[in-house]
Amino acid sequence: MATGTEPPDTESQPGSGGVRSATRAAIDAPHLRTDRWWLAPAATAAGLLAFVVYSTWRALANADYYAAPYVSPFYSPCLAENCEPMKAGPNWALFGDWWGLSPAIIILIFPLGFRLTCYYYRKAYYRGFWASPPACAVAEPHKKYTGETRFPLILQNIHRYFFYAAVPVAGILTYDTVLAFRDEDYEWGHMGLGTLVFLVNIVLIWAYTLSCHSCRHIVGGKLKHFSRHPVRYRMWQLVGRMNARHMQLAWASLVSVALADLYVFLIASGVFEDPRFF
Amino acid sequence: MSVVDRQEWDVVVVGAGGAGLRAAIEARERGARTAVICKSLFGKAHTVMAEGGIAAAMGNVNAGDNWQVHFRDTMRGGKFLNQWRMAELHAREAPARVWELETWGALFDRTRDGRISQRNFGGHEYPRLAHVGDRTGLELIRTLQQKVVALQQEDFKETGDYESRLKVFQECTVTRVLKDGERVSGVFGYERESGRFFVLEAPAVVIATGGIGKSFKVTSNSWEYTGDGHALALLAGAPLLNMEFVQFHPTGMVWPPSVKGILVTESVRGDGGVLRNSEGKRFMFDYVPDVFKEKYAESEEEADRWYDDPDHNRRPPELLPRDEVARAINAEVKAGRGSPHGGVFLDVSTRMPADVIKRRLPSMYHQFKELADVDITAEPMEVGPTCHYVMGGIAVDSDSAAARGVPGLFAAGEVAGGMHGSNRLGGNSLSDLLVFGRRAGWHAAEYAGERASARPRVDDTQIDAAAAEALRPFSAEGEEPADGPPENPYTLHQELQQTMNDLVGIIRREHEMRQALEKLAELRVRARRAGVEGHRQFNPGWHLALDLRNMLLVSECVARAALERTESRGGHTREDYPAMDRTWRNVNLLCRLADPSGGFAAGDPVRGQISLTRETTEPIRPDLLALFEKEELVKYLAEEELYE
Amino acid sequence: MSSYEARFKVWRGDVQGGGLEDFEVEVNDGEVVLDIIHRLQATQAPDLAVRWNCKAGKCGSCSAEINGRPRLMCMTRMSVFGRDETVTVTPLRTFPVIRDLVTDVGFNYTKARQVPAFVPPEGLGPGEYRMMQEDVDRSQEFRKCIECFLCQDTCHVVRDHEENKQAFAGPRFLMRVAELDMHPLDAAEESGLDRKRTAQDEHGLGYCNITKCCTEVCPEGIRITDNALIPLKERAVDRKYDPLVWLGNKIRRRPASSG
């Protein structure tokens, strides 16, 4: 056999594509894996689904999202006139009074879009929800596959714009965390359990945002010669180290943002009082 | 029978390792239509296993280096038996060959000022080895492979056919070089995939098939190393040179058994690794031979200082040439100071921080972790000698790489003899491939060009004979019932490996070698009855049965030459003649087929297949001799040579 | 040292058909799957076809699927399986089978040819190349590739969709495009070849949905997805989907990425 003189045989029998194509080793089973390959996609799907259900409920609830000094990250910044008043908080009624729905919807578009087009989440839901593929070397159930070559999935390429948008959102959440160093009477220099929850959340949000693959590209990955840009090279290395943990950070920040919201909900709805440290 | 696929080419290169590909690139660039034949897939040749680097006196790390120093090191390493003109060409041309790789896309590790970094290696006076971590061979083969593809892309633009001027026939094996009278006329081979025979007609054939390690049980070589090129040349009437010199690399893995022999790169020692016996002693200090006494450290303190200050200290004895280290390890194990699995300890864990080890020796870390479950950053490795390289090979003309006595036949790389003398320095192999691969391709293209109008004719009877020979294993059953039942080729191979390992191995004794020759004769007779099951499509049993002919021929060469040379030198150690003998310095041993007309008459157990002749080497050119101190030459050269 | 009898199922056959054949075979301490296949050859099935070379995970010849997972046989130790577990070995299931464990990997060689080679910079002769280690690190990682084609085998784009083989180069050769695009001295752009754009337009980068199976199977531990494919996607975005970069290029009249 010479080096690929023969054109690759691209014919396949109708109804028997993929690993069951006529030229491939005749094995009926769609896969021969003996490990619990379904566990990871199932867990991913369950986790994502739980978050979607919870966040939909909370975003549409339009209630119990502010308990001074804490504002739920789902509602920050709050950009409509129907927002609850937050002293010095992130409520700027840019949308005026015509907006009648939950103000969460306005702002959640951005973090949602950021996560939806994120390279890690893409992997997670392509595998978990779309079974494309369900797991490595496990045949996928689809007849055709075009990946991200055409509408709508070609839109995944706009990930970096969501990154640009996610940075100011994270900035505002940082501001919220600073505000959380007040007490319920807006006196500065205090801290409660909620402050700690917010601190953890904001660190994870930033870590997730900055470890983004688009960020890695923008800060330095696009360069051809690192040696001519030593500062950007250092930044690229730093982002690269975080990027290696992008999956863990994606999950951790997803959980922490939901927990931060849940915490505010529990305080706002009076389930318990925010334990104050000082 | 002669209905086989026949194609015409200008140059046929047998083997697609470093030498073969470099030859093919050169031949194609000089206008010859070139075919490359390889036993494996394109890009899998044994060259990928080379780890340490390419020796080339570029002087990037130490400006004191130049070709003369490299030449000196090479001659010392080879104990002055080298074909000196080859050593000279090699030292002069190696830097250009390395730089050229960069223009084809190779990415070597860099110095701080952006040049190619060079590392220390056994027997090299200065840091000289261009490298990529410890996967230099992979970088070399991939670069050459990609250069071949680049040329094919050029041809595609011009002719619409990628393979119009340069084609790789992968997974094909050549079993015979065809001749028209004295001259080469082409090759005969089979396609592994289909089992079909084919003939490539060509006036020039370059043999670049590598080594013979698969004749030994413990070896770092892959299955391809069955001495095919050596045997093809012998059968075509070309002599083999100094086949007794077989290099046992001092550090192969010794455990687990399935990977026994797999190489542990010399860079482990070049970068600071030390050898210890079971008593924890750095025993190499006890094994520095007299000829090297002035060059190597006498204390551990001095040796350790050398890594940081090589100008004011002498190098550690762990970096002696490979033959010395291999013998030392062998002696330690024999004296009962070996490691649990019959080797010695090679330790980097106490010498370098873990992250440095992982960065500088990534594939060693990987190899031990995956295959032996040993973390080399935390514990020592167990290592022992493994058959690694054959210095002997096809006798060639130094400048043109043309095989002696067979016009149109060329050889380069490990399969060619002479360059490394009695022992090869680490890193000199990859540079050898490039320097002489290019020369072989160049001269083959030139030779073919001169004969474009009068191409040699391929003789049908030779094709029929070659086909019959290749099909023999399928009809072994039933034929010659008096001789016994068909033999299993796998069993024969194992017995051959055991024989060579035990009787013609690292330390040799006369009676053992005689015994080996008897055993080889017996195996040769039995190999005639090697039978295989199944059909011709990708049948490994059949392939092995055919390779046995080559291994048996080459093994006999090694054994006969080793028996003849009554001294110890480089890769040839005689227990009964333990010292180097200056009168042997200028003696070459040439192996030829005893009965060139006999075709495949290998069935006579009494008579060997190989005849040996002695030949006096050409005196070393005076200006090259002048590169050495007189005191040093006295140790190697006979009186009369010195004063000539 | 202890040995035991293991149960193996090995696929035997050719393009006409075939199936899993049962074997019982001795296994010793420290052995890998390839050792067992060799023992089968030497004792029970002399014509069992298998490709292998270095037996040390360096050449990438002995790729197969072991218990349904693409792996190198020489790097799969028997100790990872239970003694009573049946070990199933099949050829790669993405490529046409030739015989037994040997497949026709010609697809990969065809694709290799479609990636334009390194373009040497003009005005620099041999020996004059200067490159900094930090600038070659990225491409060097990709050059660790041993071309075992396990990533090509596991990638669902071609594994499950034969028809995509025309349009999609596969992870190995998209990584090759990335390697050349990140090579500090590659002069493709100066010669009018835009590797970033062709990655998408000619080598099918858009088919990749970054599900990372290539990274999972890579025996060299190359982070194909994170370090080659995603950066390449981002570079393609620079060219094709980023109006800011486009505008910047218009104004400054120079390629944005030529840092």
Q: Is A95 on the interface with C (CB under 8 A)?
A: no
- Residue B99 with chain C: CB contacts under 8 Å: 126-127, 129
List all residues of chain C from 202 to 231 with a beta carbon under 8 Å from chain A.
204, 206-213, 216-217, 223, 226, 230-231
The helix (run of H) or strand (run of E) holding residue B550 is helix B540-564
Q: Is A1 on the interface with B (CB under 8 A)?
A: yes
Token output for B616: 């006096």
For residue B255, what pLDDT is reported?
Answer: 85
For residue C247, what pLDDT is reported?
Answer: 76
Q: What does the alpha-carbon distance between residue B241 and residue B568 come to, in Å, rounded to a whole number?
A: 17
Three-class SS state of B185: strand
Best C39, C118, C135, C177 residue to mutate vs chain B (most B CBs within 10 Å) = C118
Q: What sign does the dihedral B255-B491-B231-B4 (CA atoms) show?
A: negative
User: Is 70 exceeded by the pLDDT of residue A6?
Assistant: no
Q: How far is CA B465 from CA B235, B408, B445, B541, in A?
A: 13, 21, 29, 21
Angle between the N-to-C axes of helices A159-179 and A193-210, in degrees from 0 to 180, rounded to the nearest 10: 160
Is there a single domain that holds both residue B258 and residue B379? yes
Higher pLDDT, B488 or C245: B488
* CATH code of the domain containing B496: 1.20.58.100
pLDDT grade for A15, boundaries at 50, 70 and 90: very low
Angle between the N-to-C axes of helices A159-179 and C230-240, in degrees from 0 to 180, rounded to the nearest 10: 110
Last residue of a domain, one of B327, B358, B387: B387
For residue A93, what pLDDT is reported?
Answer: 84
- Would residue C123 be called left, alpha or beta, if left means φ above 0 and alpha means ψ between -120 and 50 degrees? left
Query: How, if at all, do strands B610-616 and B587-593 pair?
Result: antiparallel
In total, the C-beta contacts within 8 angstroms joining chain A to chain C are 198
Query: How close is the nearest chain C Cα to the Cα of A138, in Å?
Result: 8
Q: How many CA atoms lie within 13 A of B559 on its CB side?
A: 30
Best C10, C32, C58, C107 residue to mutate vs chain B (most B CBs within 10 Å) = C58
Token output for A247: 């999956």
Contact A24 C94 (CB under 8 A): yes
| Amino acid making up residue B436 | F
Is there a single domain that holds both residue B489 and residue B374? no
Token output for C229: 């494919």
Q: What does the alpha-carbon distance between residue A232 and residue A250 come to, in Å, rounded to a whole number?
A: 24
pLDDT grade for B513, boundaries at 50, 70 and 90: very high
Burial class from Cβ neighbours inside 10 Å (0-12, 13-18, 19+) for residue B624 reads: middle
User: Is 70 exceeded by the pLDDT of residue B470?
Assistant: yes
Query: How close is the nearest chain B Cα to the Cα of C191, in Å?
Result: 15
Q: What does the alpha-carbon distance between residue C164 and residue C206 come to, in Å, rounded to a whole number?
A: 12
Q: Is B550 on the interface with A (CB under 8 A)?
A: no
Which residue is closest to B163 within chain C, CA to CA?
A: C113
Active site residue B360: no
Q: How many CA atoms lie within 13 A of A169 on its CB side?
A: 29
- Residue B163 with chain A: CB contacts under 8 Å: 2-3, 5
Burial class from Cβ neighbours inside 10 Å (0-12, 13-18, 19+) for residue C13 reads: middle
Q: Is C114 on the interface with A (CB under 8 A)?
A: no
Last residue of a domain, one of B387, B405, B425: B387
Query: What residue spans of B104-201 are helical by DSSP H?
Result: 136-159
> Of C162, B293, B147, B256, which Cα lies nearest the Cα of A23?
C162
Q: What does the alpha-carbon distance between residue B442 and residue B25 come to, in Å, rounded to a whole number?
A: 9
- Residue C188 with chain B: CB contacts under 8 Å: none
Active site residue B269: yes
The helix (run of H) or strand (run of E) holding residue C12 is strand C4-14
Cα first-last separation, chain C: 58
Q: Is B510 on the interface with A (CB under 8 A)?
A: no
For residue A47, what pLDDT is reported?
Answer: 97
Query: How, if at all, do strands B118-119 and B54-55 pair?
Result: unpaired
Contact B99 C127 (CB under 8 A): yes
> Of C137, C144, A228, C221, which Cα lies nearest the Cα of B109?
C137
Last residue of a domain, one of B328, B361, B387: B387
Q: Is B147 on the interface with C (CB under 8 A)?
A: yes
Look up the domain containing B349 and give its range.
252-387
- As for how many domains chain B has, the answer is 2
Catalytic residue among B46, B269, B315, B536: B269
Is there a single domain that holds both residue B486 and residue B597? yes
Q: What is the pLDDT of residues B569-612, one digit of tens each?
A: 999 999 999 999 999 999 999 999 998 765 445 556 667 899 99
Q: Is A132 on the interface with C (CB under 8 A)?
A: yes
User: Is 80 exceeded by the pLDDT of residue B52?
Assistant: yes
**Correct CATH for C106-252 of 1.20.120.50, 2.40.50.140, 3.90.1150.10, 1.10.1060.10:** 1.10.1060.10
Q: What does the alpha-carbon distance between residue B571 and residue B247 come to, in Å, rounded to a whole number?
A: 5
For residue C252, what pLDDT is reported?
Answer: 67
Q: Is B163 on the interface with A (CB under 8 A)?
A: yes
Task: Give me the residue from C135, C223, C242 closest to A226, CB to CB.
Answer: C135
| Amino acid making up residue B417 | G
CA angle A39, A43, A46 (to 5 degrees): 140
Task: DSSP letter for A138, please.
Answer: S
For residue A14, what pLDDT is reported?
Answer: 41
Query: How close is the nearest chain B Cα to the Cα of A4, in Å?
Result: 10
Contact A3 B191 (CB under 8 A): no
| Amino acid making up residue B171 | E
Best B169, B196, B198, B538 residue to mutate vs chain A (most A CBs within 10 Å) = B169
Query: What residue spans of B243-315 are helical by DSSP H?
Result: 267-270, 300-306
Token output for A108: 């959640």
Average pLDDT over residues B206-225: 94
For tokens 């494309």, what's the residue?
A132
For tokens 């090479």, what's the residue?
B74
Q: Is B519 on the interface with A (CB under 8 A)?
A: no
- Which chains, if any, share at least 3 CB pairs under 8 A with chain C? A, B
Task: Give me the residue from A8, A25, A132 closest to C13, CB to CB.
Answer: A25
Average pLDDT over residues B412-434: 97
Best C100, C103, C147 residue to mutate vs chain B (most B CBs within 10 Å) = C147
- Residue A216 with chain C: CB contacts under 8 Å: 231
Q: Look at the domain C4-101 and name its fold.
A: Ubiquitin-like (UB roll) (3.10.20)
Catalytic residue among B135, B249, B315, B424: B249
Which residue is closest to A31 within chain C, CA to CA?
A: C68
Q: What does the alpha-carbon distance between residue C76 and residue B425 come to, in Å, rounded to a whole number?
A: 33
> Of B233, B470, B273, which Cα lies nearest the Cα of B357?
B273
The answer to which of A53-62, B75-84, B366-375 has the lowest mean pLDDT is B366-375
Q: What does the alpha-carbon distance between residue B526 and residue B485 come to, in Å, rounded to a whole number?
A: 9
Q: What is the pLDDT of residues A137-189, one digit of tens each?
A: 999 999 999 999 999 999 999 999 999 999 999 999 999 999 999 998 999 99
For tokens 């012998």, what's the residue?
B234
Cα first-last separation, chain B: 59
User: Is 60 exceeded by the pLDDT of residue B541?
Assistant: yes
Q: What is the pLDDT of residues A61-99, one digit of tens each?
A: 999 999 989 999 999 999 988 898 888 888 888 888 888
For residue A5, what pLDDT is reported?
Answer: 43
* CATH code of the domain containing B346: 3.90.700.10
User: Is 50 exceeded by the pLDDT of residue A4?
Assistant: no
| Amino acid making up residue C223 | R
Contact B533 C100 (CB under 8 A): no
Contact C106 A3 (CB under 8 A): yes
Contact B170 A3 (CB under 8 A): yes
**What residue spans in chain C does CATH classification 1.10.1060.10 cover?**
106-252
Which residue is closest to B538 within chain C, CA to CA?
A: C49
For residue C259, what pLDDT is reported?
Answer: 45
pLDDT grade for B482, boundaries at 50, 70 and 90: low
Q: What does the alpha-carbon distance between residue A133 and residue B372 come to, in Å, rounded to a whole number?
A: 34
Model confidence, pTM: 0.94
Q: Report the percent of chain B where pLDDT is more than 70.
A: 96
Query: How close is the nearest chain B Cα to the Cα of A228, in Å?
Result: 13
Q: What distance separates the 2 farthest-apart alpha carbons in chain B? A: 73
- Does B262 map to a domain? yes
Radius of gyration of chain C (CA): 22
Contact B105 C118 (CB under 8 A): yes
Q: Is A140 on the interface with C (CB under 8 A)?
A: yes
For residue C4, what pLDDT is reported?
Answer: 95
**What residue spans in chain C does CATH classification 3.10.20.30 cover?**
4-101
- Does B514 map to a domain? yes
pLDDT, chain B, mean: 93
For residue B480, what pLDDT is reported?
Answer: 53
pLDDT tens for chain C, 259 residues long, are 589 999 999 999 999 999 999 999 999 988 999 999 999 999 999 999 999 998 888 999 999 999 999 999 999 999 999 999 999 999 999 999 999 999 999 999 999 999 999 999 999 999 999 999 999 999 999 999 999 999 999 999 999 999 999 999 999 999 999 999 999 999 999 999 999 999 999 999 999 999 999 999 999 999 999 999 999 999 999 988 877 766 776 776 554 444 4
Query: How close is the nearest chain B Cα to the Cα of A226, in Å?
Result: 13
What's the complex ipTM?
A: 0.94
For residue B602, what pLDDT is reported?
Answer: 55
Q: How far is CA C186 from CA B546, C180, C192, in A?
A: 45, 6, 12
- Residue C125 with chain B: CB contacts under 8 Å: 103
Q: How many CB atoms lie within 10 A of CB B157?
A: 9
Task: Give me the residue from C103, C154, C257 closest to A222, CB to CB.
Answer: C257
| Amino acid making up residue B413 | G
Task: Give me the residue from C67, C112, C211 closest to A127, CB to CB.
Answer: C211
User: Is 60 exceeded by the pLDDT of residue B318?
Assistant: yes
Which residue is closest to C15 within chain B, CA to CA?
A: B537
> Of B13, B25, B20, B11, which Cα lies nearest the Cα of B45?
B20
Q: What is the pLDDT of residues A218-258, one digit of tens each?
A: 999 999 999 999 999 999 999 999 999 999 999 999 999 99
For residue B479, what pLDDT is reported?
Answer: 52
Best B36, B40, B41 residue to mutate vs chain C (most C CBs within 10 Å) = B41
The helix (run of H) or strand (run of E) holding residue B169 is strand B166-170
Which residue is closest to C240 within chain A, CA to CA?
A: A157
Q: What does the alpha-carbon distance between residue C205 and residue C171 come to, in Å, rounded to a whole number?
A: 9
- Does B337 map to a domain? yes
Radius of gyration of chain B (CA): 24
Average pLDDT over residues B85-112: 98
- Which chains, if any, share at least 3 CB pairs under 8 A with chain A? B, C
Q: What is the pLDDT of residues A100-126, one digit of tens each?
A: 899 999 999 999 999 999 999 999 999
- Asked whether A74 and A55 are in contact (CB, 8 A), the reply is yes
Q: How many CB atoms lie within 10 A of CB A95?
A: 15
Q: What does the alpha-carbon distance between residue A104 and residue A248 come to, in Å, rounded to a whole number?
A: 26
Q: What does the alpha-carbon distance between residue B611 and residue B396 come to, in Å, rounded to a whole number?
A: 18
CA angle C81, C85, C88 (to 5 degrees): 85
For tokens 């750095």, what's the residue?
B282
Task: Give me the residue from C51, C100, C112 closest to B149, CB to CB.
Answer: C112
For residue B603, what pLDDT is reported?
Answer: 59
- Residue C97 with chain A: CB contacts under 8 Å: 23-26
Higher pLDDT, A37 or B372: A37
Token output for B335: 């004296």
CA angle B447, B453, B457 (to 5 degrees): 85
Token output for B166: 């340069």
Higher pLDDT, C61 or A15: C61
Q: What is the pLDDT of residues B113-131, one digit of tens each?
A: 999 999 998 899 999 999 9
Higher pLDDT, A9 or A21: A21
Q: What does the alpha-carbon distance between residue A138 and residue B75 come to, in Å, rounded to a whole number?
A: 58
Q: What does the alpha-carbon distance between residue B426 and residue B447 come to, in Å, rounded to a whole number?
A: 32
- CB burial of A209-245 (b: ≥16 within 10 Å; e: otherwise) equals bbbbbbbbbbbbbbbbebbebeebbebbeebbebbee
- Residue B167 with chain A: CB contacts under 8 Å: 2-3
> Of B241, B234, B205, B245, which Cα lies nearest the Cα of B83?
B241
Is there a single domain that holds both residue B363 and residue B488? no
Q: What sign does the dihedral B600-B605-B607-B612 (CA atoms) show?
A: positive
Average pLDDT over residues B457-470: 94
